[in-house]
Amino acid sequence: MSPFAWGAFGTGVGWAAVTAAAVMLVTFAIALARGVHRVVDVAWGAAFAAVAVVTLAASAGQGDPARRLLVTGLTVVWGLRLAVHIALRGRGHGEDPRYEAMLARAPGDRNLYALRMIYLLQGALVLVVSLPVQAAQYAPRPLSALAWAGTAVWAVGLFFEAVGDAQLARFKADPANRGRVMDRGLWRLTRHPNYFGDFCVWWGLFLVACDGGWQAAAVSVVSPLVMSVLLIDGSGKRLLERHMAGRPGWDAYVARTSAFFPRPPR
């Protein structure tokens, strides 16, 4: 069995960086033309899909072919579903309140500030978070049970994300629910089924990479750790709950519903 291709992996990381930057810069140009920066949320999932495809092409002749196809397919399915969902959700809406609040504090030109603090920052995060996808392309070991366990964790994550998003969309579409807190379906088990799903997706992809050997595990463990911090204590759960605080029924919902990991309501 050939060893982990460190040199080829380093070149692949370079291609991944170029890809992530290209997606974000094109998105920035679209945002300037449309006058709203919320389109960057669509680019988040699309950038991961693009990195996976480019890394698959760059790693031709390296790594186990089955793992390369598996990790690319899982990433593309997750990334494109997320991108389409966010694009449909934001259709016809103005600027995202999060970005509006951020740009209101811009020390200079708002668009240049957005380029630095939103687009380039998200591009850097895509590069770091996608490390399991990149490393798995160069792992020489054949697939084993750990890769399928990781795929199962990924599937749980995709289920929570997709079903949770669909349930929330149906809830919001009913005018009778205006101003109410969503507490049905998966939202009875966790206040953030979509964020929990994202958490599972990236830990699952990390397990697929780990199946390829300790080298792939070592270079990519930062990915699920960074995503966990972002989802639980960063721009995910914490900011959304700050936005929801004070709504009628929110405190009671918090009291009976798990903050992140699913469990039956109290």
**106-128 pLDDT tens trace:** 888 888 999 999 999 999 999 99
In a domain, 54, yes or no: yes
DSSP 2: P
CA distance 175 to 74: 36
In a domain, 122, yes or no: yes
In a domain, 217, yes or no: yes
- Count of domains for the chain: 1
In a domain, 128, yes or no: yes
In a domain, 263, yes or no: no
Of 147, 132, 139, give the one whose Cα is nearest residue 225.
132
Q: Which range marks the domain in which residue 87 is found?
A: 6-256
Helical packing angle, 121-129 and 6-34, nearest 10°: 150
**Residue 196 CB neighbour total at 10 angstroms:** 26
pLDDT tens for 167-209 read 999 999 999 888 888 999 999 999 999 999 999 999 999 999 9
The confidence score (pLDDT) of residue 222 equals 97
CA distance 102 to 104: 5
Burial of 254: CB neighbours in 10 Å, binned 0-12, 13-18, 19+: middle
The confidence score (pLDDT) of residue 88 equals 92
DSSP 120: I
Compute, in degrees rounded to 10, the torsion defined by CA atoms 182, 186, 191, 193. -120
In a domain, 1, yes or no: no
pLDDT tens for 70-95 read 999 999 999 999 999 999 988 878 88
Mean pLDDT of 60-71: 95
pLDDT tens for 203-250 read 999 999 999 999 999 999 999 999 999 998 876 666 677 767 777 788
In a domain, 96, yes or no: yes
In a domain, 265, yes or no: no
The confidence score (pLDDT) of residue 1 equals 56
